[in-house]
A = this chain, B = another copy of it.
Amino acid sequence: MIKKVVFALLAIVLVSCDSNQSKKESLSASKDFTKYVNPMIGTSKMGHVFPGATAPFGMVQLSPQTNFEVMFKEGKYNSKTYEYCAGYQYKDSTIIGFAHTNFSGTGHSDLGDLLIMPTVGNLVLDPIKTEKGEKGFYSKFSHENEIAKAGYYKVDLEDYKIKAELTTSERVGFHQYTFPKSSESHILLDLVYNVYHHDNKNVWTFLRVENDSIVTGYRQTKGWARTKKVFFAIKFSKPFKSYGHKKYDKTTYNGFYGRFDESNNFPEMAGKDIRAYFNFDTNEGEKIKMKFALSPVSADGAMKNLEAEIPHWDFNKTKEETQEKWNKELSKIEVETIEESQKETFYTALYHTMLSPILYEDVDGKYRGLDQNIHESEGFTNYTIFSLWDTYRALHPLFNVIQQERNNDMIKSMLAHQEESVHHMLPIWSHYANENWCMIGYHATSVIADAIVKNVGDFDKNRALKASVATANVRYFDGIGDYLDYKYVPDDKSHSSVSKTLEYAYDDWTIAQIAKSVGDSSSEKTFLERSEYYNNVFNPKNGYMSPKLADGTFRKNFDPLDTHGQGFIEGNAWNYGLYVPHQLDKMVEMMGGKEHFSQHLDSLFTMELDDKFIDKHEDITRDGIIGNYVHGNEPGHHIPYLYNWTDNEYKTQARVRMIMDTMYGTGVDGLCGNDDAGQMSAWYIFSSLGFYPVTPGSNQYALGSPLIKNAILNLENGNTLEISTENQSKENVYVSKLTINGKIINRNYILHNEIMNGGKFVFTMSNQPNK
């Protein structure tokens, strides 16, 4: 056992080092990039990000929860609970506690596990209101007394005069509560609380008070993740003087035969809905600290994580170590911007690209697989939270530039997932050893192809091909059988038929790239053929990708502007219909040629979209819309760059600068839609640097218009790329010239190698388009 822990400690030390550590250390010693990170950006409206503390890609994401009023009072799915996917809304003035798991930017709610709330005074275990009508255990707070930093969160809980501070390592939340003097100080562990749009998410809770300062247990829920277990181990810095719990479920266990008084200092608790409390005497200003470790495997695993990652009680030490980890990651791109505030936007976006996927294994490499068995990650580090319909677009491509090692691990995690899958499918939208099948396509293949084409990682390409081919042939999944039989998804057999056909076709092209990389020309041919199926849903009569019936005719009653029931999902034919990222030249030609297509884009960005098409969608709000272009959601993220496939590339340059200016900002409403697990932010990072991966799975990046004045990319391969601009200004959005290492570039794309080889890009900017 001891050996294992030592090994685990060693592993952590090794993980936190990389090949050019000395360089990074000197950088970080001189430059602090965490000061530009403002986790509050996007916490208002629909950003769905959380302001709490976490380490880069950390398993513990420890954040204040303000959503209890809605969740508890209404207890049903509505636009308000949708607001609370990350548990927090800036407009709120009360906090119910601090939960250890939170999604970042998702368009669906879950997690919110293991809520901790410190209180003072009469013990109150009800969050909103007691049975007697007294106030619940929530507290007022003020943003004036709130600090959110990368790796650190602080708030004053006004009702209790408690200062709450949070930091974390990867697997351990570190709480520090400064109490007033009281003989009735409490720390509540609320195992009823959840973030989810349905009531009754809890399945089972198991809790043990191991001694006067250690608590272990687990909770199982049936939320978005259908069979989810989170194990934990808690260590208090000070022994509690007494403790207890209350069960809230009606199906309370009735064993024990009265042999115990369960209500008082009883160390064993189990049931569906439990709230536990730990009581203390505190002096004025006394700090009580808690280390709260998670594990996907067992309480034992959580305890090992706790001991391995934070073996001390020095809150500031952990905080500083985690901020140093953040600085190390953030310093991979050092930017100078036109306006100082843009640095805050940039580094907060960069921060948001590192909140998912998250680490999902214990320090000893054990993790819970999709099959609910315990596996060991041999030769990789296991990750979870794959929101792939979102993140294959720009987040994983960004990782192929600045997080190659992690992206390699993520792909290996996806391959492990595929082997654990009873469907033999790569992840679609997976988290916490579950697949929730959210959104369409099988875009893990794109992530794999993109890494292969960009020479990232050492995963087994043949295994990756096999996994991709298996995934793409699960006939019973979401119309794939019909897609294979009809060479499109018939609209009378499957909803979102056009979106599915387009995305399957693109994904099939990425599989062809994987096949090509291993010399499997037969598979390459098969999937290249499949990648052409998008043609079969194009209706030349109306010029749109259109819903087609099984009988081969296009559906009548088709509205290309309607985002509902027209063969698209979260989009319409006008915008989602432009989704052929692997054959854009052909698509443009099919849609009437460059000039006509350019005009379509112009119309897209300038037309008036009727409210009726917007109100139906949670994922599409006015904030994220420009005409009929929806930046607040994913299927169109490549569209601003599509002018590159016309003769009006300059319009891309103006448009992306306009989007960066208007759709991102430093306010709490600085995200125009769900950050979608980092995809929105990754779009911003790429676009800020002047290029964007329109076609993941190719080695090309479409050119845009850089927002930064200067950027230095400190690449993992040891190379340094400088991206600099001349005549950069808010107005000079047009690129008149680009040189790479002094050589003029006369194409509207750059190559991955041109980034990774390092050197210097110089964009010469102008207020006049270079037509």
A204's partner among B220, B265, B495 (CB-CB below 8 A) is B220
Q: Which residue of B lies closest to A229 (CB)?
A: B204
Residues A265 and B226 in contact in the complex (CB < 8 Å), given A255-B436, A373-B299: no
Given the complex, which residues of B lie within 8 Å of A260, measured CB to CB? Answer: 437, 476-478
Shortest Cβ gap from A435 to chain B (Å): 8
Q: A222-B251, A259-B477, A260-B478 are in contact. Are A298 and B374 (CB under 8 A)?
A: yes
Contact B218 A267 (CB under 8 A): no
Asked if A668 lies at the interface with its beta carbon under 8 angstroms from chain B, I say no
Do B259 and A437 touch (CB < 8 A)?
yes
CB distance from A385 to the nearest CB of B (A): 16
* A209 in contact with B373 (CB, 8 Å): no
Copies in the complex: 2
B268 pairs with A422, CB closer than 8 A: yes
Docked complex Cα distance between A298 and B438 (Å): 28
Residue of B nearest to A250 (CB): B200
Bound-state Cα–Cα, A253 to B298, Å? 25
Q: Which residues of B contact A256 (CB under 8 A)?
A: 437
Q: Is the CB of A200 within 8 A of B251?
A: yes
Contacts of A208 in B (CB 8 A): 371, 422
Interface size on A, residues (CB 8 A): 48
> Across the interface, do B257 and A372 meet the contact criterion of CB distance under 8 Å?
no
A18 within 8 A of B: no
Instruction: Check if A258 is an interface residue, CB within 8 A of chain B.
Output: yes
Partner of A222, one of B204, B299, B437: B204
Is the C-beta of A596 less than 8 angstroms from some C-beta in chain B? Answer: no
Give the residues in chain B near A533, CB-CB below 8 Å: none
Most chain B C-beta atoms within 10 Å of own C-beta, residue among A203, A251, A257? A257
Confirm or deny: A184 has a beta carbon within 8 angstroms of a beta carbon on chain B.
Answer: no
For the complex, give the distance between the alpha carbons of A491 and B222 in Å.
Answer: 46
Task: Given the known inter-chain contacts A222-B251, A423-B268, please indicate yes or no for A203 contacting B200, CB distance below 8 A.
Answer: no
Contact B265 A476 (CB under 8 A): yes
Closest beta carbon of chain B to A510's beta carbon, Å: 20
B-chain residues with CB within 8 Å of residue A253 when the two chains form the complex: 222, 226
Contact A270 B200 (CB under 8 A): no
List which A179-223 residues lie within 8 A (CB) of chain B.
198, 200, 203-204, 206, 208-210, 216, 218, 220, 222
A558 within 8 A of B: no
Given A204-B227, A477-B259, decide whether A298 and B268 contact each other with a Cβ distance below 8 A: no
Most buried by B among A216, A222, A251, A440: A222
Known: A226-B270, A227-B270. A438 touches B204 (CB 8 A): no
Residue among B204, B210, B476 making CB contact with A203, cutoff 8 Å: B204
In addition to A208-B422, A255-B437, 20 A-B residue pairs with Cβ atoms within 8 Å of each other are A200-B251, A203-B203, A203-B204, A204-B222, A209-B422, A216-B371, A222-B271, A226-B270, A256-B437, A259-B437, A259-B477, A259-B478, A260-B476, A261-B476, A265-B476, A266-B476, A298-B372, A298-B373, A299-B372, A300-B374
Q: List 17 A-B contacts (CB under 8 A).
A: A204-B220, A206-B227, A208-B422, A216-B371, A218-B372, A222-B253, A255-B437, A256-B437, A257-B437, A257-B438, A259-B437, A259-B477, A260-B477, A265-B476, A268-B422, A300-B374, A374-B374
